Amino acid sequence: MKKVIWITGAGSGIGEALAKAYNHEDHTIILSGRNKTQLESVSKNLVNPFILPLDVTKEDQINQAVSLVQSTFGKVDILINNAGVSQRATVSETTNDVGRNLIEVNFFGSVHLTKAVLPMMTNRNKGSIVAMSSAAGKFGFPLRSYYSASKHALHGFYESLSLELKDTQVHVMIVCPGRIKTDISKNALTGSGESHNQMDQGQLLGIPVEKCASKIIQGITKKKAEIYIGGNEILLIYIKRYLPFLFRLIAKRVNPK
């Protein structure tokens, strides 16, 4: 049966890789993001793309987009909340407005779109919702204060939602990527809200984005609740969980870039 797969942040990075990995004549890929030019570029490599520009911080745009998807397709089989922005600034350097923007994009953008799409899934008693968190959603890290906070918040919301949907066939999965080779560090916000515009060394040496997309799709297929994707940095999640004192010692020595 033909699936409708909606991906936000689809213009580059993990979102683009997911769109290409899901590319099949039996799938319609809805590509959302703020940069229409990027979405059009990605769509050229897809069989059945549907370009839907969207700023997830604007509730009116979300409502209009969901209405259009419902009237056009009548359903969403998989929603991947991939839109997000990172941070490269200390707490003292980050203005309150920049902090709010990070929370709006990473947390409320994901949550509001999920809530708007959810009735389409619950009415059919079928679907998958993916929340893109981060390894930084499992522990704090220097220069990531608001980013980490926004990702921590996703866990509280989506774990609660998953439990509320336990008697349905609507699946919820949280993804925690570590260092993936994308431009996330380049696009990260400085304390004043400008683009960091630098590739972190850890990001440069991260796992290929195609491998990340493959693992996400495997997780959706197997209906996993939470998955971790990355290299050795993923070990910090387990160290924080079982040996928090050791995590603090290690984190103090890790180069945040």
Per-residue model confidence as pLDDT tens digits over 75-93: 999 999 999 999 999 999 9
Among 40-49, 71-80, 141-150, 244-253, which is the least confidently predicted range?
244-253
Reported as a single tens digit per residue, the pLDDT across 141-174 is 999 999 999 999 999 999 999 999 999 999 999 9
Q: Percentage of the chain with pLDDT > 70?
A: 99
Please list, in sequence order, all residues whose beta carbon lies within 8 angstroms of the beta carbon of residue 213, skipping any fewer than 6 positions away: 14, 17, 18, 20, 21
**pLDDT on residue 191:** 97
Burial class (CB in 10 A: 0-12, 13-18, 19+), 124: middle
Pair type for strands 78-81 and 3-7: parallel
Structure tokens at 13: 């990075």
Q: How far apart are CA 133 and CA 208, in angstroms?
A: 18
Structure tokens at 246: 């050791």
**pLDDT on residue 231:** 95
Is 158 one of the catalytic residues?
A: no
Q: Which of 147, 158, 238, 242 is catalytic?
A: 147
131-136: average pLDDT: 98
**pLDDT on residue 159:** 98
Walk me through the domains of the chain, giving residue ranges and CATH numbers.
3-253 (3.40.50.720)
Q: How far apart are CA 102 and CA 46, in angstroms?
A: 30
**pLDDT on residue 13:** 97
Instruction: List residues bridging with 226 in a β-sheet.
Output: 174
Assign 202 a pLDDT band (cuts: 50, 70, 90): confident
Structure tokens at 206: 């991260």
Assign 32 a pLDDT band (cuts: 50, 70, 90): very high
Q: How far apart are CA 6 and CA 8, in angstroms?
A: 7
> Would the pLDDT of 255 be above 90?
no
Assign 219 a pLDDT band (cuts: 50, 70, 90): very high
> Would the pLDDT of 126 be above 90?
yes
